[in-house]
Structure 1
Amino acid sequence: MKNFYYFILFTLLFSVEANSQDFKKTLVKAFTSQDSSEYYFKIAKKNIKSIDDEAQYYFCKNARYCDYNQLDSAIVYGQKALKLLKNGNDVNSLLTVYNNLAKVYRKQGQYDKAIDYSLQGIRVAEIEKKENWIAFFNAMLSLTYHDFESYQKGVFYGKKALKYWVSQKEKKPNMISNALNAIAINFDDWNKPDSALYYHKKVFKYFKGIDTLNIGETYNNIGNTLLKQKKYREAKRWISSALQINDKNFEMSNGVKDNDYYYERATNYTNLATIAYELDDFNEAEKLFEKAYIYAKKSDNAEKLRDFYYQRALFNKKRNNLSKAVQDQESYIKIRDSVFDVERAQNFSELEAKYQNEKKEKLLLQSRAEIREREIEIKSKNTQFLILGLVSLALLAIIYLVYRQQKMKIKQQEQEFALKSAIAKIETQNKLQEQRLTISRDLHDNIGSQLTFIISSVDNIKYAFDIQNAKLDSKLSGISNFAKSTIIELRDTIWAMNKSQITFEDLQTRIHNFIDKAKEAKNEIQFDFFVDAELKERQFSSIEGMNIYRTIQEAINNSIKYAEADKIQIQVHKANNQIQIVIEDNGKGFDLSATEKGNGLLNMQKRITEINGTFDIQSSDSGTKISILL
C-alpha cells in the first residue's frame, strides 16, 4: 500500500511544467528527507509563485505529516490544501488529500469524519470517472466501518473495491490484497472465521512468486483469526512470521519509523501477548504487553489503543489483578465512548463488583467527615439533577407550545386553502351554469324556431297543393316527423343543460313523458317504471343524467320497434354498493352471437362506459334484458 501511495505522490509532483521543476524537486526533498524536512519546506515556501504552487506546498505537508503520524498537523494542512485544490484542475492531488484526511480521522477514531471525507472523494472520483480512486475509497470505507464495528457495511464496501481491482487486465496485487484484507477482517470480527480465512488466503494467489514482504499484514490477520478460534500455537506461528516480515521491511527502509512501523507492531505484540496469557505464560504476556503499549501509544491510533486496553484488561482479570483490570477497562471504555459517542457501557460489571468487594473493608474505615462530604456531594448532585429536570421540563413545555402553535397555524392555512378552493369551485360552476343557460337559450330560440318553421312549411306545402305523388307525400311527411322528433331531442338536451344536477326522480318524470308519447303509437304495450324510493334523490351531473336517460330511451325504442313485446319494465334499485338499472321486455328477442351490433347497441354501451358504469345485454326467445351497473 505504501509503495502505491509514494507512486501517486511522485507522479503528481512531476506532472507539471518545466519552469516549476525546481520548486517541485524541493518539495520532493522535503517529503523524503529524514532530518531536513522542515528546512526544505521553508525553502519551498519562499519559492511559491502561484496558487497551484501553494496548493502543492500544502499538499506535500499534509502527505508528510500524515505519513509520519503527526495527525493534527496533517489535518490542518490537508484542510488548507483542499480549499486551494477544489478550485483547480489537479484532480489526483485533490483525491489524495481526501484520502489522507479520511485516513487520519480513522486513526483518531473519528469515524464519522473519515466516512464523510471518503464519500466526498468518491463523489469527485465519480464525476471525473476515476474508477481506480472509487475502488480505493471503497476499500477505505470498508476499513473504517470495520473499526466502527459495522461489519456488514465493511464487507459490502470491501467487495465493491475487490470487484474493480480483479476486473482489470493488469492486476495490481497490492490493491487486491488491500481489498481482500479489508473484507477478511470484517468477517473476522463479525464472528465468521471461515469466511475471514477464505479471503485472507486468497491473497497468496496474487503474490505467487512475489516476495511476501508485501503481505506481512495478511500473516498477522490470519493469526488473529486463528487466535479467536483458540488455535493459539498455530496463531503464534503466523503472527511471529508477520513480525519478522515487518522487521525485515524496517531494515530495508533504512530505519525509517513511520506510522506503519508503529501500527503494525502494535497489532503484532498485542496479539502475541494475548496468545501468551491464553497459554498461561503470564511473565511473557507481561513483557509483550509492555511493548504493545509503547507501539500502540506511538501509533496514535484509536483502534490499536482500544484493542490493547481490552486485551490487557482480560489478561489482568485472568491473573486476578482486579485493580489493574479495572483501570484497563476504564481506559478501554473511555476510548470506545469517544469513538462511538454512546453512554459508557457496563461491559465488566462482574469484574467491577469483585473489585469493589475488595475495597469494602477500606470504605468501612473512612471517617465521618469523609462520609459527610460524600453526603454533601450526593445532595449537590441531586440538586443539580433536580434543576436539570426542571429546565428539561420547561424546554419540553416550550417545544410543545411552539409545536401546538405551528400545528394550529398549519390547520388554519389548510382551512383557508380549502375555503378558497371551494369558492373557486363555486365560481367555476356558476360560470359553467351561465354558459349552459346561454347555449340552451340559443338552441331554443334559434334551432328550435328554425325546426318549427320547417315543420310549418312542410305542412303548408302538403295542404296548399294537391300532391298526387305518394312517394313525394311520404317524403314530406318523413321530413315533418324527423323535425318533430329533433325538436323533442332538442328539448331533452336543453332540459339537461339547464340542470347542474339531475336526480332519478327527474329522470323518472322525463321517461314517463317519453312513455306517454310511445303509448300513442303502441297503446297495446304495458309499461312499468319503478324507482327505489331510497334512490329518487340520488344526484348525477347533467352529462351522467343525460347518458342514463338516452340509454333507457334507446332501449325502450328498440323494444317498441323490434321486439313485438306487450310488456316493458324499467326498474332502478340498489345492489350492494351499486345502482342497478334493468330494462326488460317479453318480446321475441334476438340471437346476440348472430346479430352484428348496430349503432343503437354500441351507443348505449359507450354512454354507460363514459360514466364509469358497466353495460350488459341478454336476449332469448322469451325477451331481452339490459342491465346497467353504476
Structure 2
Amino acid sequence: MTRFLVHILLLFACLPVSAQRIDSLMNRVTKEKSITEKVLLLFEISDYWSYRDSTKALEFLDKGKALADGNDYLEAVSLFYEGGVYFDYDIDRSQQLYMESAKRLESFHTPEAYGYKARLWHNYATLDQFRGNDRSFLDITLKYCIPYAERSGNNVILSGYLSDVGMIFYNHKSYEKSIDYYNQAIEVLSKEKNDGENLPRAYINMAQSQVYQQDLNGANKSLDNAYELLEVFPESKIFAFYYTVKSMYHRLNNEPALSLESIERGIEHANRLKADYDLLTLQYEKYQVYKLQGNYQAAKAQLESILGNNKYDALRKNRLAFLVELAEVEAELGDHQRAYELLDEYRLLSDTLHAENVRAQIASMEARYRTSEQEKEILTLQNKRRIESMFLWGSAVFIILLSCIFFYALKLRKRRNQQQMLSLEQQREIEVARALMDGEEQERLRLARDLHDGLGGMITGIKMKLDTKARMTEDEDLTKTVEQLDMTLTELRRTARNLIPENLLKYGLEDALKDFCQSLNTDDVQISFYCNDLSPITDKNVQLILYHVMLELVNNAIRHADASQILLQCTLEGNLLLIDVEDNGKGFDVEKTKRNMGLNNIEMRVAYLEGKMNIDSQLGKGTIISIECHI
C-alpha cells in the first residue's frame, strides 16, 4: 500500500515577529533609551520585513548597524539578521553570513548569545535541507542547535529542534527514534506556561508515529492529550491535522465508521480555515478508508476528485503516487485497460518531471558558466591595463634599458604562453573526463529511473492483469507466469538499485559500502571493510563516483583474481581521501596486461576526481591498488 508522506519541518520555534506586534515595536524604538535594546528592536523589525519586503528589511537593518557601530556583539547579531534577508533567494550568501555571525559570536557566552547561535545554525541547516541534504540538517541540529538551545534556556526553540529531529526520523520510518524525540519535546514544553499550540502539535506528531508503529493505545492517549489542550483554540488550523491522525488511528484499529466521522470533522475545519494542504491529506485518508472497506467505487471517486482538483497541480510528485493507487483500484474493479492507461500516464508524468529537472540543471550550469566567463573577461582586462600602465611608467623611467626589457618580455611571454598552453591542455583533459563521467552518472540515473518507473510500472500492470485472469480462471500456467513476473520485477529492481543504490542516497557513502561488502561475504570470499568516517563527503555525485570505483575494484578481485580474502580501506585526512584494496588473488603483470573496460572506468573516475592510482601486483602474490584524491 502506498503511503502518503508530507515532509513538514517544525519551524514554529523560530517564527518571525507577528504583524500585530510591528506597530508596538516601532513605538518602543522611539521611546527606548538603551542603545543596545534600540538596536535589537530595529533588528526584529528587519526580521519581520525580511519575509515580506527585502528593501525595507535592509533599511531597518542598516539603521540598527549604524547605531551598533563599534559594538562587537551587536555587529555579530546583525550578520544573523542579514542572513535572514537573503534566506529565500540567495542560499550561498545567506549561509556565508550565518557562518560569519557564528564566528564572531564564539567569544560570547550569555543565554541570549547561545539563543542566536542556535537559531543561526538552524537556519543554516534548513538551507542545506532545501538542497536535499537531510543528513546535514540532522547532524547540525544534533551537534549545534539543540546544545545551544539548552544553554540559552529558551524551551520553545529547544522543543522545536527536538521535534525537527523527530520529524526527520519519522520521514525515514524510524518511528521509535521519532517518538523518543517527540517525548523530549513534550517534556520541555510541559515546563512552559501558556505555551499555545506547540504542545498539542507535538502530541499529534507523536501520535502519528505511534500509529505507524502499531502502538494504538499510545496513539489514542497522545490524541486525547492534544484534544484537551486544543479545546481552548477552537479555530486552530491544527484541528485538521488532529482529525487526520485520529482517522488513521481508527482505520488501523479497524473502525472505518469512526474514521470517516473524524475525516468529515477535519474537512469541515479545513474548509472553514481554507487549509488546502490539510484538506488534501484528509481526502487521501478518506480514500484509504474506502479501500480498507473494499468499496472500490467510492475509493475511485475520491482519488479522481483529488486528481481533478487544480489546487494540487503543483504537487506532481504526489500525483505520481495517486496515479499508481488509482491504477490498482481500476484493476480491482476489473477495468484493466484503464489501469494500463493510468500507468502509462504515470510513466509520461515521471518522464516529464525528470526532463524538467534536467533542464533546470542545464540552466543552472549555463548561468554558472556565463558568470565564470564574465569574471575571466574582467580579470583579463584588469591584467591588461595593469601591464600597460607598468610598461608606460617603465618606458619613461628606464628608457635606456628599453631594448633589454623588450627582449626579456618576449622571452617571458613565450614561456608564459607555453605554460598556459600546457595548463589549458591539462584542463581540457580534465573537463573531457568530467563530461564523460557526468554523462555516465546521468545515464545511470536515467536508466535506473527508466527501469524502476517505466519498465517496472509496465511489468506491474501486466502482472496485475494476468494475476486477475489467473484467479478468475484458476489457470495454473497463468499462476506460474505471474510468479515468474514477480521474479523478473525483483531482478529488475535489484538492477536499478545497483545503478543508483538507495542506501547511498539515504544514509551516505560509508553505510552503502558497508552494506555492499556484507552482501558479497560468503564462505568462499571474505571481505573486510575499514574506514574512519566518510560523512564529510556530502556531494552526492562524488559519493556515487567513489561508490562505483570501490564496487568495481572489489568485483574485479572476485571475478578476475579469484581472491578469497579482500581488504577494502578508506581513510579521509582533511580533504585527502586514501583508498586501498588488497587481495590474495592470482595477481597479474601490470605492464603486459591490457586495460579492460572495468579498469578504464576506474581510471576515468579517478581522473575526474583529479586523483592518481597505483597498481602493485605480482603473479601468484595478489594485488594492491592504492588511490589518492582530493575531495
TM-score bin (small chain): 0.3 to 0.5
Of structures 1 and 2, the larger Rg is shown by 1
What's the TM-score, normalizing by structure 2? 0.45
What's the TM-score, normalizing by structure 1? 0.45
